[in-house]
Amino acid sequence: MRHLRLDQAGEIQAWLDERAEEMATLLESLVAVDTQNPPGRNLRTAAQVAAEAMQRLGLSPEVINLAPTGALDEPTIVRGAVGSGTRLVYFHGHLDVVPVQDLRQLQPERRAGRITGRGTADMKGGIVSMLYGAAAAREFDLLRDGQIVMHLVCDEETGSAVGSGYLQASNMIDARGLAMLTPEQSGGAIWNAARGALTLRVTLSGREAHVGQASRGVNAFEHMLRVALPIEAFAREMARGNRSTPMAADGVPKAMIVVGGTSGSGASFNVVPGSAWFTIDGRYHPQEDIGSIFVRLREMISETARQVGADVSIEVLQEAQSSFTEPTHPAALLLVQTIGAVEGVVPRFEMCGGALDTRWYADLGIPAFGYGPGRFDVSHGPHECVDEAAVRRCAAVYALYVGQVLSG
């Protein structure tokens, strides 16, 4: 039966190729909505564009308006479904994009089978793949007694706490889900693992004094330097190769930490700074426990601050758990087979260098993978683009994969 399903690869591809124009048009209309995050504007408008397309494709969209929060402008989730039954496969995407380098990136350009613009690779092109993949799965009767549930969230680029956090808090992710796919720009690989992220802002307080009476002040900048030094040493220690773990290739760092990516102090050059702050941003291997890393960082900071007699406060700007699904999991092997049937190559498994929304599903025990039509090396850059044929092939992978998982 599985073999038979994969034999449909050619037919499904042909069905998608007939829809090349409407798929390109949908991608262009998604790119044309400026969803740069930060700051996170026009999120409801983008959700409406996606929901209208889902309506046309028979994917029963429901637009969920979330309470305003922080800088996000009208945070919104789109949830859709096709098929019925309790056997679930999740497709998950995000409508926000990283800030542009040039405003012209918000005007999509279609040329020679390629669409250029912000979000084409990460991941509005992927959203087109997942929606048309779901439509093809229904068209080719691949759903049987199962269904695809689709989620489009609004703030993945700034940590997902609002959109995916809502899905989690509202129990909208069923732990019985058989698999989850998110069309991130994996460039032909399968992202079965993603690093966790922890971003801290450390603020030291001192006492202001005019330069003429500098000896009366307490220099918070000096405190900051002394607190930051041991953290930098910790960063070097964590960056050493992690050769002992079975999933890591030789030389894969345990963690990548940037100390002082942003920093600041003082009111003026002629005043002893009364406060100083710096950030610590880390990306951690799935085998590292972010909770204990946080405890260790906090202890190091508090200990040094105590030694130098400084007041310190620590703010968590971002915390995202890592994510990992075994590459030998049956759902992973089915994905390898499916990609092989469409692309004609055996994909490799990779760990994504950043955080992925797979974690919201993997946390519940659902095998979760990043796989999309975009390339990693162009996403977030000034020449971000996606090949239209790659978007259609990825849609075929999504459709066939559902057939594989639900026929098991």
Pairing of strands 87-94, 179-182: parallel
Q: In whole angstroms, how close is the CB of 89 to Zn ion at the nearest point?
A: 20
Contacts of Zn ion in 102-131 (CB under 5 A): 122-123
Q: In whole angstroms, how close is the CB of 121 to Zn ion at the nearest point?
A: 9
Judged by beta carbon, residue 83 or residue 370, the one nearer Zn ion is: 370
Q: In whole angstroms, how close is the CB of 184 to Zn ion at the nearest point?
A: 5
Judged by beta carbon, residue 184 or residue 384, the one nearer Zn ion is: 184
Q: In whole angstroms, how close is the CB of 318 to Zn ion at the nearest point?
A: 15
Judged by beta carbon, residue 24 or residue 123, the one nearer Zn ion is: 123
Other residues' Cβ atoms within 10 Å of the Cβ of residue 112 = 6
Q: Which amino acid is at 245?
A: T
Whether the upstream peptide bond of residue 347 has omega within 30° of 0, thus cis, is no
Judged by beta carbon, residue 28 or residue 184, the one nearer Zn ion is: 184
- Count residues contacting Zn ion (CB under 5 A)? 3
> Binding of Zn ion at residue 155 (CB under 5 A)?
no
Taking a C-beta distance cutoff of 8 angstroms, is the pair 226, 237 a contact? no
Cβ contacts of 311 within 8 Å, gap of 6 or more: 204, 205, 305
> Exposed, middle or buried, 113 (CB in 10 Å: 0-12/13-18/19+)?
exposed
Copy the structure tokens of residue 300: 């190091």
**Helix (H) / strand (E) containing 134:** helix 125-139
Q: In whole angstroms, how close is the CB of 94 to Zn ion at the nearest point?
A: 6
Stretch that binds Zn ion, among 22-30, 183-191, 193-201, 391-399 (CB under 5 A): 183-191
Stretch that binds Zn ion, among 179-187, 214-222, 243-251, 266-274 (CB under 5 A): 179-187
* Lookup result for tokens 């609002």: 162
Paired residues of 73 in beta bridges:
none
Q: Is 144 left (phi over 0), alpha (psi -120 to 50) or beta?
A: left
Judged by beta carbon, residue 35 or residue 265, the one nearer Zn ion is: 35
Q: In whole angstroms, how close is the CB of 376 to Zn ion at the nearest point?
A: 10
Determine the residue with CB nearest Zn ion. Answer: 122
Report the b/e string of 166-175 with b at 16+ CB within 10 A.
Answer: bbbeeeebee
- Residue 330: half-sphere exposure toward Cβ, Cα within 13 Å: 6
Taking a C-beta distance cutoff of 8 angstroms, is the pair 366, 175 a contact? yes
Judged by beta carbon, residue 260 or residue 381, the one nearer Zn ion is: 381
Four-residue CA torsion sign, 382, 359, 193, 135: negative
Judged by beta carbon, residue 184 or residue 350, the one nearer Zn ion is: 184
Stretch that binds Zn ion, among 167-175, 177-185, 206-214, 381-389 (CB under 5 A): 177-185
* Lookup result for tokens 């890592």: 322
Q: Which amino acid is at 283?
A: R
Stretch that binds Zn ion, among 28-36, 166-174, 184-192, 212-220 (CB under 5 A): 184-192
Judged by beta carbon, residue 76 or residue 265, the one nearer Zn ion is: 76
Contacts of Zn ion in 9-48 (CB under 5 A): none
Tell me the C-alpha distance between 152 and 169, whole Å.
16
Q: In whole angstroms, how close is the CB of 26 to Zn ion at the nearest point?
A: 18
Q: In whole angstroms, how close is the CB of 38 to Zn ion at the nearest point?
A: 15
Q: In whole angstroms, how close is the CB of 372 to Zn ion at the nearest point?
A: 8
- Which of 79, 99, 285 has the alpha carbon at shortest distance from 164? 79
Tell me the C-alpha distance between 286 and 340, whole Å.
27
Q: In whole angstroms, how close is the CB of 374 to Zn ion at the nearest point?
A: 9
**Contact positions vs Zn ion (CB under 5 A):** 122-123, 184
